[in-house]
Structure 1
Amino acid sequence: MTMKLTDTQTLILNTAIQSSDGLLSWFPDNLKGGARDKVLGSLLRQGLIQIDGKTHRVTDLAYETLGLAVPTASIEPIKAAPRTRGNTKQAQIIAMLQRPEGATISQIVEATGWQPHTVRGTFAGAFKKKLGLTLISSKDDHGQRVYRIDHTD
């Protein structure tokens, strides 16, 4: 399929294709306001770009139109791995919960200096919701509740 593209359209598509994410993030300095909207509208109607959230992304048809090979992997934004530090109270608590014997609230309070309600809140908020950890609890021989990270997942 042969499409007639303007020099501006070709330049915009080539720039987007050369970026790692395929997003249209650069436009010529002389392309502002209504002119920019018309160029984007034309590219959308031709199926060369698609709306991706609040921005535009090139389609496979744009690669084909420009005579380029379509990338084999879909273009997805790279998600950074969560940053973890080993010297935090959170890391200290996780290490305590990973021990075979687990940890009680009072042991964690003693190790961190936190109040018991803060420890319980951390279990529900940071560990369960944010980190996706599954905690299991049981009572020990002395009647204290012992918490552990469930490794059966």
Structure 2
Amino acid sequence: MNTATTAKPITLNDTQTAVLTHAIDRTQGKVEWFPDTIKGGARKKVIEGLFTRAMIIGNNGDWIVTDAAYEALGRARPEQTAATETATPAGKKAARKAKAAPKTEASGEGEQAAPRTRENSKQAQVIAMLKRPEGATIAQICEATNWQAHTVRGTFAGAFKKKLGLTVTSDKAEGGVRVYRIAEAAPTA
């Protein structure tokens, strides 16, 4: 008697299939679209169903299609640099709660886990601009990222200060324009 078990093919419902197909065909594997009839709690159920079947994985607050989803749909994954896939709690609301939680020790040496950002993102571009000796103005950042001024200020307070723990300082010369910089961390004793 053969004791090896064969994997049961995963069956997806019509909505799950549509969501995965749309993500693969139109958004490079990022789950962003749901049928108009799927709202609120129903969307959460679709996400939870896909997550528990390992069809999607959380990545920095987004849901990304996994290799298992490509296989379930009978498709080959396109050759590309795959994003680092890390599991997150179900739903984006849970991810927001995780951001608000206090930072925990990452290792026994007292180091905290460093938040990750993509090197080619607009956020990384803004951080690089703010690390320059001359800093950057809101107008310069708006021009470089195509963001509006309130988005830049919100990024300073939200993503940079709360999520990444960065300190953004500003100064304004007499009659000049306000310039923002990332403050260098003071050495800890």
Structure possessing the higher radius of gyration over alpha carbons: 1
Higher relative contact order (CA 8 A, sep 6+): 1
